[in-house]
Structure 1
Amino acid sequence: MNYRAWVAGAISFSALATAPALAQTTLTIGTVNNNDMIRMQGLTSEFTKQHPDISVNWVTLEENVLRQRVTTDIATKGGQFDIMTIGTYEVPIWSKQQWLAPLSNLGAEYNADDLLPPIRAALSTDGTLYAASFYAESVMTLYRKDLLEKAGLTMPEKPTWDFISQAAEKMTDKNAGVYGICLRGKPGWGENMAFLGNMAREFGANYFDANWKPQFESEGWKKAVTLYVDLMTKYGPPGAASNGFNENLSLFGQGKCGMWMDATVAASFVTDPKQSQVPDKVGFAPAPCGTDNCPNEGANWLWAWSLAIPASSQKKEAAETFISWATSKAYADLVASKEGWANVPPGTRTSLYQNPEYTKAAPFAEQTLAAINRADPSMGPEKPYVGLQFAAIPEFQGLGTAVGQVMAAALSGQQTVDQALAAAQAQATREMTRAGYIK
């Protein structure tokens, strides 16, 4: 090597050696094992291309396990997660405890004013956003149009539980492995109790009355749980007490369910030919009513799987950068470019439902938007808590899970409905008295 080349090489090496290195930040994100989150993980490389100084470590957990882990971590300031996937239950409670960092630097392009008003309100405290919705949902009836037609029935504009019972019987063909109805049975405050709490509202009952007395032995709860157990025993799949959202999603996609009342977010998956065996045979209707006059328009629930930052996090800037990317309009465009508009995370932004490409590709869009807009989680004279399928009080997480175990026991035949409801009433009364709600 000649002298001139050697000098050039030495200068080049020196420049590299003294150039400032990018400070690497690793974000640990705890999330749920739902399809939209799995897709987000698959697209993370798109984020790291734009932000090479940030790497992402995913911890993906089953719903009940995720809730236990993130609750323990944030309450103890354990610092395991830099971003947590939480929902409309946790946000109002944890923000008031000052456990969450406000999302005040999501960037000008984020446009919080574009969020659907019910979702923005549910994730805000005193006008400040504490979590950003990745996707949001209400509840709907998903059904097999071909099986309903074969049964000689037409889905009403506002289905009742009487009609659903009739249809479940006629659509069931156990010899062919087809069950008339699939409903959540897995115990958990966000699993079977999310469904049963909503079903009880469809029969006019809440979790607590105006004086915080539990309502599990009320007429509405008795009607709801009795019908639930009867339908699932006669027309549901075997082992239903172990089936949550994901298990029923799989069953429906395999063509084994005639009807399924569950989260609106399921619609894009059961109509996706890559994930469903019956993509062109699915119809959508509101959640059923339990009373003749349908006062609650089907008693819709409201939920948003959302990304939030623990207040104790030392990586808030990087965490907010990721959250802004994952919940932005640009992310929706990214999903659409790779998976099609029907697979964009639903229920978050007004602009999505004004996009003709989306509404054309998603036959469930109108029903989803209507259900979200009809859901009103606010408290009132007969309901002293915020929430629909849950009660937004700290005690509900433990209480709801314990009651969920009792309801699963009734579904599996270990207890009668009356025994289960009596046990739930006694347990809830003890807890609410101990916590000071009942004087």
Structure 2
Amino acid sequence: MTTLTRALLGATALCTAAGLAAAQDDSVTLTIATVNNGDMIRMQGLTGDFNEQHPNIELEWVTLEENVLRQRVTQDVATSGGQFDVMTIGTYEVPIWGEQGWLVPLEGMPEDWNPEDFLPSIADGLSVDGTLYAAPFYGESSMVMYRTDLMEEAGLEMPEEPTWADIEDAAAAMTDKDNEIYGICLRGKPGWGENMAFLTAMSNSFGARWFNEDWQPQFDSEAWNETFTTYLDLMNNYGPPGAASNGFNENLALFQQGKCGMWIDATVAASFVTNPDESQVADSVGFALAPNKDGVEKKGNWLWAWSLGIPSGTDAEDAAKTFIAWATGRGYTELVAETEGWANVPPGTRTSLYENEEYLAAAPFAETTLQSIEAADPTNPTVDPVPYTGVQFVAIPEFQGIGTAVGQALSAALAGQTDAEQALEQAQQITTREMTRAGYIQ
């Protein structure tokens, strides 16, 4: 699709949406808060296309590291600070904030935006009572990304559905610390959306849970002990130095440099580790589903979407909807395909993408990504019943603070400042105290 065609389509769509067309009458500046992930950086580089279609809407970007972004947008939306007109937020925040009236419902969008095309599990996680309160820019689960060349050298073959025992065997076989090759890279940076996203999803695959049905914390359970000791054993024996400081971006860089035998993380990373312009191992990457403990039916994969939402009270609502329609519409997907190749389009949001033969041919990770997304069940995340929804988070307002504090306690054990038993005891104490203060525990 040419730039001219996209402009014509955009103009036609706006003509059918009177509310959005009003945004074109006067110049307006949108301040957009976003995360410093690769897909978001790419979007900023392609906004010349948006500027051509909408010359009266100026875009100002505030690009932040993930933990900082979460803090800034949460503070701003909760206090009606008005710093941002569009926020990059996730599957955790959207339903909570939407229900509290902090976000603008995405109604009156252009007809060709086609929200019915969004993957059901992704759309459901961004909706309140069937109404979308944010639009998914990309959706993800998690999976195993591994060096096929190192597996072959070790005489091993990665199962399509590995267990944690398989992962440990592969990590041991691929580790060559003398040559700075580490068998496995996992998140260690503290944060509810950093190390705790990984560890919570991992804990599900060991049969652990954050809370029992009476909201009693469960970090003193055998399942959590087995989860965390397995994680520490993997990282201490086969992981890179300084892992307690590594989050998504740091591990992505290590994998692209050929220093990780395996990396278990977001499916969205697949296009970056297989891009020969960015990855030194692009032609030697394989994919498998997230692991489970042998005999446990749940896998350690999560469900997430980085999405664009509009804070209530913005004075640029129509322009913000115009931008979101552009950034999350099929036209943007085609723009990325035209400029960067089909393998690099934002994944995990639209059903039509996984029916597109050009994409499927260009993206060897597409099938595993979709399978992982569809397998994640936020309403039934672990083996035993729980009173909450969410796979790698607990969908209550208090979780941001609790999850970050617990993440700091567990990261300290990875850094060697405490041991596993002390870290889990601290996590239990922190969570019990805060849940009691919040009234969940009587």
TM over 0.5: yes
Q: Which amino acid aligns with 2:434?
A: E
Q: Are residue 88 (structure 1) and residue 91 (structure 2) matched?
A: yes
Q: Helix, strand or coil: the match of 1:276? A: coil
Residues 1:369 and 2:333 aligned together: no
Partner of 1:174: 177
| Residues in 2 aligned to 1:116 and 1:301: alpha-carbon distance in whole angstroms | 15
Is it true that 1:348 corresponds to 2:361 in the alignment? no
Q: Which residue of 2 aligns with 1:34?
A: 37
What is the Cα deviation at residue 300 of structure 1?
A: 2.1
Contact 2:33 2:73 in 1 (8 A): yes
**Whole-Å separation in 1 of the counterparts to 2:160 and 2:59:** 45
Overall identity of the aligned pairs, in %:
65
Shift of 1:314: 1.0
- For residue 438 of structure 2, the aligned residue among 417, 420, 435 is 435
1:354 maps to amino acid: E
What SS is found at the alignment partner of 1:307?
strand
TM-score, normalised with respect to structure 2: 0.93
Q: Deviations over 1:412-438 (max 9, x none)?
A: 110010000000001100111110111
> Counterpart of 1:305?
306
**Aligned-pair distance for 1:386?**
1.2
Q: Report matched runs for 1:212-361 at 5 Å.
A: 212-290=215-293, 292-296=294-298, 298-361=299-362
CA contact (8 A) 2:202 2:301 kept: no
- Name the counterpart of 2:209: 206
Residue type at the aligned position of 1:265: V
- The secondary structure found in structure 1 opposite 2:112 is coil
Moved more, 381-390 or 371-380: 371-380
Deviation at 1:299, TM superposition (A): 3.5
CA deviations on 1:140-194 (whole Å, 9 max, x unpaired) are 0000011011111111121011111111111000111100000000000000000
Between the aligned partners of 1:157 and 1:317, the Cα distance in structure 2 is 46
SS of match in other structure, 1:371: helix
Corresponding residue of 2:17: none
Partner of 1:5: none
CA deviations on 1:70-108 (whole Å, 9 max, x unpaired) are: 000000000000000000000111011100000002211
Residue in structure 2 matched with residue 425 of structure 1 by the alignment: 428
**Which of 338-347 and 226-235 deviates more?**
226-235
- Which consecutive residues of structure 1, in runs of 5 or more, have no partner in the other structure? 1-20
The answer to whether structure 1 residue 74 and structure 2 residue 81 are counterparts is no
Larger displacement relative to structure 2 (51-60 or 213-222): 213-222
Amino acid at match of 1:295: E
Distance 1:25 1:132 in 2: 21
Tell me, yes or no, if the aligned pair for 2:206 and 2:296 is still in contact at 8 Å: no
Partner Cα separation in structure 2 for residue 317 and residue 378 of structure 1: 34
Consecutive aligned runs of 4 or more in structure 1 exceeding 4 Å deviation:
none
Residue type of the alignment partner of 1:253: Q
Does structure 1 conserve the Cα–Cα contact (< 8 Å) formed by 2:203 and 2:300? no
Q: Deviations over 1:325-378 (max 9, x none)?
A: 000000000000000000000000000000000000000000000000111101
The alignment partner of 1:183 has SS state of: coil
Judge conservation of contact 1:91–1:123 (CA < 8 Å) in 2: yes
Question: For 1:48 and 1:73, how far apart are their aligned partners in 2?
Answer: 27
Give the aligned partner of residue 128 of structure 2: 125
SS at match of 2:416: coil
- Give the secondary-structure state (helix, strand or coil) at the position aligned to 1:346: coil
Map of 1:13 onto structure 2: none
Q: 1:22 to 1:313 in 2, by over 3 A?
A: closer
2:401 pairs with 395, 398, 402, which one? 398
Is 1:407–2:406 an aligned residue pair?
no
Q: TM-score, normalised by structure 1?
A: 0.94
Q: Aligned with 2:225: secondary structure?
A: helix
From 107, 119, 142, the counterpart of 1:116: 119
Offset at 1:112?
0.7
Give the Cα–Cα distance (whole angstroms) in 1 for the partners of residues 426 and 377 of structure 2: 29
CA–CA separation in structure 2 for the residues paired with 1:345 and 1:400: 28
Q: Does the 8 Å contact 1:120/1:129 carry over to 2?
A: yes
Corresponding residue number in structure 2 for 1:65: 68
CA deviation after TM superposition for structure 1 residue 294, in Å: 3.9
The more displaced of 179-188 and 214-223 is 214-223
Structure 2 unaligned segments of length 5 or more: list them: 1-23
Q: Distance in 2 between matches of 1:300 and 1:174?
A: 28
Tell me how far 1:293 sits from its aligned partner. 2.7
1:188 is paired with a residue whose SS is coil
What value does the CA root-mean-square deviation take over the aligned residues?
1.1
SS in 2 for 1:428: helix
**AA at the equivalent of 1:226:** T
Preserved contact between residue 214 and residue 425 of structure 1 (Cα < 8 Å): yes
- Rounded to whole Å, the distance in 2 between the matches of 1:116 and 1:306 is 14
- State the Cα distance separating 1:22 from its structure 2 match: 5.7
**What's the secondary structure of 1:261's corresponding residue?**
strand
CA contact under 8 A between 1:299 and 1:375: conserved in structure 2?
no
What secondary structure does 2:288 align onto?
strand
Larger Rg: 1
Q: Contact (CA 8 Å) 1:160, 1:288: kept in 2 or not?
A: yes
2:379 matched to which residue of 1?
378
